[in-house]
Amino acid sequence: MSSFQGQMAEYPNISIDRFDRENLRARAYFLSHCHKDHMKGLRAPALKRRLECSLKVYLYCSPVTKELLLTSPKYRFWEKRIISIEIETPTQISLIDEASGEKEEIVVTLLPAGHCPGSVMFLFQGDNGTVLYTGDFRLAKGEAARMELLHCGGRVKDIQSVYLDTTFCDPKFYQIPSRGECLSGISELVRSWVTRSPYHVVWLNCKAAYGYEYLFTNLSEEFGLQVHVDKLDMFRNMPDILHHLTTDRNTQIHACRHPKAEEYFQWNKLPCGITSKNRIPLHTISIKPSTMWFGERTRKTNVIVRTGESSYRACFSFHSSYSEIEDFLSYICPVNAYPNVIPLGTTVDKVIEILKPLCRSSQSTEPKYKPLGKLKRARTTHLDSEEEEENDLFDDLLPVPLRHKVPNQQTCHPEVLPMTVVSQNQPENLRQSAGCIKAKSVKTSLWANFIDCEESNSDSEEELQIPASCQGDQSPPHQQKTDVQVPQWDVFFKKSDDDTDCGLENFPSSTEAGGSQSPKLFSDSDGESTHISSQNSSQSTHISEQGSQGWGSQSDTVLLSSQERNGGDITFLNKGSCRPRVKENLPASQMEQNVLCPKDTYSEDVNVVFSAGEPTTVSSGKHIPQERKVLTLSTNPDSQSSSDFEIPSTPEAELPKQEHLQYLYEKLATGENIVLEKRKSSLLDT
DNA sequence: GCGATCAGTT
DNA sequence: CACAACTGATCGC
């Protein structure tokens, strides 16, 4: 639960995800996603009054968040005061103090956060440096490295501070099974049930919150069964979600809710009230999405646990695990990192202690021989040119510490894009083409000049996550890598990450046949109990990890080890993403997504954004130079990882040569500035 | 009556 | 275990 108070030290004139108290004085508001704990004060009378008095105050969010928010009558009063900003589209906003007329310019870029439909992170760039507010996020390892707009010239931007979702920032949550693994597990469980008869139905016991849509859409897609929900009007303009939902109770997959749902279920009654179909009683199981985690030394990922005769829990997380946070933060490598969440049982100080080693000062104090050697070359060769570019863009306002330089190239200008004016109601195809302008590939970069950035999601690293039991029959690398190219948020829901397929065979399917009402996926199975026990034993080797594992330690429950399932063919849908960009040459799975992608329904939003932010505070038509570049995912179909700003893997490591050290020491002695960069935590490197 | 807060539940 | 919400009690405007 977010405890972020709304303001960032660098930009106190804006408020994010909090709308009460001090935030009532903000010059602009930002909403990262539509969860209640990020909307405190958003419909309070005090803020309403402020809006009425301060006509230049707007709320900025993603198009999907705007849609979801305005669907609720309680927030309808925001209608004229929300400006949606397209994902990955740097946009300048003028922050005006209406009393004094004082003005501050800031450029904001929305990055997909993978938390729920419409969820984004905000990257702010202005006079006080570049800061990233993550909101809530779930990003797999390596996702940050694939976000083009976190980079400039092939390397990560210089980020002063990160305001971070630290929900699971504790080593006990070291690993959470990937979305793909979790979905595969749930999918197999659903399959084992609904294929028995038309009267076998599953109830997905989900909370009332956005974030489960990708589960619904994928199950719907896989089984050809729409999911019954109580409400779907908020998705009316998001066909990729809408098409998989229904308010017709006559379906085998339910995600409806009722205050007494648990009670109902005891009586074999679904939350929507039905107990039978065609006078034939239904057979129901419940699946409750819950977060399961695994300690550092645990490799098993049993993503389904049977909790009762007809009840299951399924692994599911909206938030990044510790190792995902670690990967993300160490890649970004900010000067400061501030936790947005202080989980119960811990303290701000403890969380900060965890974050600190992943930030810059810690990183740069580590002895790093290789980077130093290359640093010299890069500096002498390219530094000046890049700094000039940055200055041009920001009027010298952005302090850019000396860092490794990147080969000069056209695609390296960061932060802004030409704010092309797009007329309202412009035809879809036109907008799309606008978004599709391909930039020159960064591939032309001379990687030899880079010294930093070890790729965070190397194959070898991913393999480390593969349970030993799976490695034997692992198939060759497959399309799971294809997603690498698309930094759009919806793609993060593709089965991408660490999925490893070890064959489907292990699933409980073998146990299904019986006439029992519940799938016998379990417990009495020897194999499965061994599963658990081995898990425990492996962890017990470390005292510190005792009790730190996920549910695997919960003795008598068991179950499905999803990692052994092949989920590679599962196609995730865009969850309400309204993507204006159409990619070409996409891998098949992505093509599929595009087919399902709704027509963009946000033309008016595009208009607002491109016509300079907002009607009043932005000088209209102000064009900011941009690297008009759409992720080139498409242009490099053969790339296994991000081709555009692939971070070179660690160069062949070799011991530092005497002369390198000599050089380094000389520099240090003379006080010359040598910046060491390390993108990746050494923990993750081999 | 409405909203904010807190405790308890799911 | 946790999350995100909901419920109900209490307090104050």
User: From the Cβ of A73, is strand B under 7 Å away?
Assistant: no
In this complex, the residue with its CA at the shortest distance from the C1' of nucleotide C5 is A208
Q: Which residue would you say has higher pLDDT here, A21 or A597?
A: A21
A259 CA to C6 C1' in angstroms comes to: 8
DSSP string, A179-243: HHHHHHHHHHHHHHHHTT-TTEEEEE---SSTT-HHHHHHHHHHHT-PEE-S--GGGTT-HHHHT
| Rounded to 5°, angle at Cα A566 from A560 and A570 | 105
Amino acid found at A385 = S
Q: Rounded to the nearest 5°, which phi and psi values hold at A76?
A: -60, -25
What count of other Cβ atoms lies within 10 Å of the Cβ of residue A492? 26
A643-661 pLDDT per residue, tens: 334 333 333 344 555 655 5
Report the C-alpha gap between A356 and A333 in whole angstroms: 10
**Strand C: protein residues, Cβ closer than 7 A:** A 1, 34-37, 115, 136, 167, 207-211, 259, 290-293, 313, 318-319, 341, 343-345, 550-551
Distance B8 C1' – A520 CA (angstroms): 34
Name the nearest CA neighbour of A454 among A657, A646, A664.
Answer: A646
Distance in Å, residue A316 CA to nucleotide C3 C1': 10
| pLDDT tens digits, one per residue of A146-176 | 999 999 999 999 999 999 999 999 999 999 9
Nucleic acid strand B within 7 Å of A290 CB: no
Cβ of A231 less than 7 A from strand B: no
Any atom of strand B under 7 A from CB of A72? no
Q: Give the model's confidence band at A611: pLDDT under 50 very low, under 70 low, under 90 confident, else very high.
A: very low
β-bridge pairing A14-16 and A28-30? parallel
A339 sits in which H/E element:
strand A336-339
Residue with tokens 């016991």: A205
Check pLDDT > 70 for residue A76: yes
Task: Tell me the mean pLDDT in the region A291-316.
Answer: 88
Strand B atom within 7 Å of A357 CB: no
Query: Is the C-beta of residue A260 closer than 7 Å to nucleic acid chain B?
Result: no
pLDDT in tens, A293-303: 998 887 666 89
The pair of three-digit structure tokens given for residue A574, joined into one six-digit string:
């865009």
Structural tokens at position A215:
């589960």
pLDDT averaged over chain A?
67
pLDDT tier at A512 (50, 70, 90 boundaries)?
very low
Among all strands, which nt has the closest C1' to A259 (CA)? Answer: C6
Distance from chain centroid for Cα A49: 34
Residue A676: is its pLDDT beyond 80? no
Estimate in Å the CA A46 to C1' C11 gap, whole number: 19
- Give, in Å, how far the C1' of C13 lies from the CA of A46: 13
Confidence (pLDDT) at A234 = 95
Q: How many CB atoms lie within 10 A of CB A49?
A: 11
Structure tokens at A406: 């990147």
State how far the Cα of A112 lies from the Cα of A32, in Å rounded to an integer.
10
pLDDT digits (tens, 9 = 90+) for A599-608: 333 333 322 3
Name the closest residue (CA) to the C1' of nucleotide C6: A259
In the structure, how far is the CA atom of residue A45 from the C1' atom of nucleotide B3, in angstroms? Answer: 9
pLDDT of residue A370: 60
Nearest-angstrom CA–CA distance, A291 and A247: 27
C9 C1' to A206 CA distance, Å:
26
Q: Where are the alpha helices (DSSP H) in A509-586?
A: 509-512, 526-540
* Closest amino acid to nucleotide C1 (CA–C1'): A550
Q: Greater confidence, A399 or A247?
A: A247
Looking across all nucleic acid strands, the nucleotide with the smallest C1' to CA distance from residue A46 is: B3
Q: Using a pLDDT cut of 70, give the percent of chain A over it.
A: 52
Query: Is the pLDDT at A444 greater than 50, yes or no?
Result: no
Which nucleotide has its C1' atom closest to residue A208's CA?
C5
Å between CA of A48 and C1' of B3: 14
Across the range A586-614, mean pLDDT stands at 32
φ, ψ (nearest 5 deg) of residue A527: -55, -40
Cβ-based burial of A570 (10 A; exposed 0-12, middle 13-18, buried ≥19) = buried
Rg value, chain A, Cα: 25
Report yes or no: A557 and A535 within 8 Å, Cβ to Cβ. no
In whole angstroms, give the CA distance from residue A285 to residue A204.
9
Residues 4-33 of A with CB under 7 A from strand B: 20
Contact status, residue A323 vs residue A175, Cβ threshold 8 Å: yes
What average pLDDT does the segment A79-102 reach?
Answer: 97
Please say if the pLDDT value at position A412 is more than 60: no
> What is the structure's pLDDT at A297?
82
- Better-predicted residue by pLDDT, A392 or A135: A135
Tell me which residue of A75, A63, A157, A42 sits closest to A110, measured CA to CA.
A63
Nearest nt to the CA of A44 via C1' is B3
A394: Cα within 13 Å, side-chain hemisphere? 24
Lowest mean pLDDT among A93-97, A356-360, A480-484, A493-497: A480-484
Q: Which residue has the tokens 């330089």?
A: A405
Q: Which strand C nucleotides have any atom less than 7 A from protein CB atoms?
A: 1-7
Residue A20's nearest nucleotide, by CA–C1', is B4
The integer distance in angstroms from the CA atom of A208 to the C1' atom of B7 is 20
- A347/A221: higher pLDDT: A221
CA→C1' distance for A44 and C11 (Å): 18
pLDDT at A273 over 90: yes
Q: Measuring CA to CA, which residue among A600, A575, A566, A569 is closest to residue A587? A: A569
pLDDT of residue A346: 85
pLDDT of A241 > 80? The answer is yes
Which helix (H) or strand (E) segment holds residue A401: the answer is: none
φ/ψ region of A623 (left if φ > 0, alpha if ψ in -120 to 50, else beta) reads beta
- How many Å apart are A266 CA and C11 C1'? 38
Q: Among positive and negative, which fits the CA dihedral A49, A54, A59, A63? A: positive
Output the distance from A206 CA to B2 C1' rounded to whole Å.
Answer: 29
| A494 contacts A589 by C-beta, under 8 angstroms | yes
Q: Which residue is nearest to nucleotide C2 (CA to C1')?
A: A291
Q: Is the CB of A209 under 7 A from strand B?
A: no
Protein-contacted positions of strand B (CB under 7 Å):
3-5, 10
Q: CA of A36 and C1' of C5: distance in angstroms?
A: 8
pLDDT of residue A181: 93
Which comes out higher in pLDDT, residue A447 or A176? A176
Q: What pLDDT does residue A361 have?
A: 79
Our measurement of CA A305 to C1' B10, in angstroms, reads 18
> Straight-line distance from CA A16 to C1' C9, in Å?
31
CA distances from A495 to A89, A184, A314, A398 (A): 25, 9, 17, 38
Q: What is the pLDDT of residue A369?
A: 62
Examine the pLDDT at A398 and tell me if it is beyond 80.
no
pLDDT digits (tens, 9 = 90+) for A540-558: 222 233 333 455 443 333 4
pLDDT tier at A495, thresholds 50, 70, 90: very low
Closest nucleotide to A263, Cα to C1': B10
CA distance A3 to A34: 16
Question: Sorting pLDDT into bands at 50, 70 and 90, what band is A327?
Answer: very high
For residue A75, pLDDT beyond 80:
yes
- Pick the closest to residue A108 from A62, A68, A139, A51 (CA basis): A62
Residue located via tokens 């690398």: A477
For A510 and B7, how far is CA from C1' in angstroms? 45
CA A79/CA A250 separation, integer angstroms: 36
Q: A1: pLDDT confidence band, cut at 50, 70 and 90?
A: confident
Q: Å from A87 (CA) to B6 (C1')?
A: 38
Shortest-distance nucleotide from A307 CA to C1':
C1
Does the CB of A345 sit below 7 A from strand B? Answer: no
Q: What is the mean pLDDT of residues A414-439?
A: 31
Cα–Cα distances in angstroms (integers) from residue A168 to residues A211, A216, A291, A351, A394, in the given order = 17, 24, 10, 10, 36
pLDDT score at A347: 87
Contact A322, A157 (CB under 8 A): no
Q: What is the mean pLDDT of residues A477-498?
A: 36
Nucleotide nearest to A21 (CA to C1'): B4
Question: For position A343, what pLDDT does the model report?
Answer: 86
Q: Does A41 contact strand B, using a CB cutoff of 7 Å? A: yes
Most confident range (mean pLDDT) of A343-347, A452-456, A594-598, A682-686 is A343-347
